[in-house]
Amino acid sequence: MSVTLLTYRTLIRSRKISMKYNILPQVLQKQYINDMSNKVDDSIKSCEVKELTFPLPYGQLAAKEWGNPNGLPVLAVHGWLDNCGSFDPLIPHILKPHNLHVVAIDEPGVGLSSHKPLGSEYGRWNTVLEMKRVIDDLKWDKLTVLGHSQGGHYALLFGAIYPNLVERVITIDIYKPLTYHGTNWAKKVSKITEIHMKYEGYLKDELENKSRAPVYSEPDALKRLMEGHGNSLNEESARILMKRGAKQLNRGITFSRDIRLKIPSLDPPPTDQQMTQFMTHLKSDLLVINAKQTPYQMPEDVKQRYYDVYQQNCRYFKNVSLDGTHHLHMNDPIPVANEINKFITESLALQTKSKL
């Protein structure tokens, strides 16, 4: 470890300095990034990945595992309609500096995980249950939760529900759980119900080998995937997601995700007023990484309302903005990795200090 990195870690043991990270000398910050970049470059060469499965009442939850099983536990949760391959470009850059043990799951209905049975729906809270199944199976008593987009929604919810279990929450291009305006919801329910019925008809056809799922050539499938994500994926990132998210047929390529994931949930959506109150239970250290070219812009007053809650209730809250699109952790993972590595260093220093 370099002298600069040791100096940096010594400095952040001061709670005053760690909470005001931006006052650290710019030269020291730059050297820290260089040190971490060198460490993660070396880690890629020896980064082994294992496939895991966890039992579910209706099938299995698939996952990928990196790192030392005795290392610092991290559960990674991907975004809407993605899969755990979303973390392939990032994990090698964060694995070694803090001896992490990372398990990234395919949420139900995507990747290699089972689809839910006919008649079921994918509620906006249900993945929290699957996350707890995985953590119990792994016998983790403390962990960090890393989430991108909708996965960050689940990370924040899980951290608030289990404040004694979650030590750190890291979100990528989402700063709050998903909420909706409370108006006109009753009018939307009938429409959502009809869509559910329609899609169940499609699924019954698939079971009878009368699938209506679109089939694409590889270039068209890549184009479809990139456009479907608002062109936030570059082609290399899209190919990574297709490894677990598509299947080859005689006529071409089709996406393997459950079409019901596109349907809004029937359960009443929370408002920001309800969710900010819910987030007061989040006590962990929190890092929010925002993409500067995100399509998901929110009013500043709403963002500040959540940031005030985090400042008041989290042990340590840090917010950074990086150049990039919504999938910046895939397209350009090193800047994201540098921020995660710094945050974990700061969090561990505070944890050590609190035990002294």
- Return the axis-axis angle of helices 218-228 and 235-245, rounded to nearest 10°: 100
The residues, ordered by sequence, that sit 6+ positions from 75 with a Cβ below 8 Å of its Cβ are 102, 103, 104, 105, 131, 134, 135, 140, 143, 144, 145, 146
Helix (H, G, I), strand (E, B) or coil at 260: helix
The gap between the terminal CA atoms of the chain, to the nearest Å, is: 24
Rounded-to-integer distance, Cα 245 and Cα 263, Å: 18
Nearest-angstrom CA–CA distance, 107 and 292: 27
**Which of 149, 232, 237, 284 is an active site residue?**
149
Is 149 assigned a catalytic role? yes
Cα–Cα distances (Å) from 333 to 93, 126, 277, 328, in that order, read 8, 29, 33, 7
The answer to whether 330 touches 233, Cβ cutoff 8 Å, is yes
Collapsing DSSP states into helix, strand and coil, what is residue 163? Answer: coil
Q: Which 8-state DSSP code applies to residue 216?
A: B
User: Helices in the chain by DSSP H: which ranges?
Assistant: 3-11, 15-19, 26-44, 91-94, 126-138, 150-161, 185-207, 218-228, 235-245, 272-278, 300-313, 328-331, 333-355
**Distance between CA atoms of residues 309 and 305, nearest Å:** 7
Token duo for residue 259: 């079409």
- Give the catalytic positions in this structure: 149
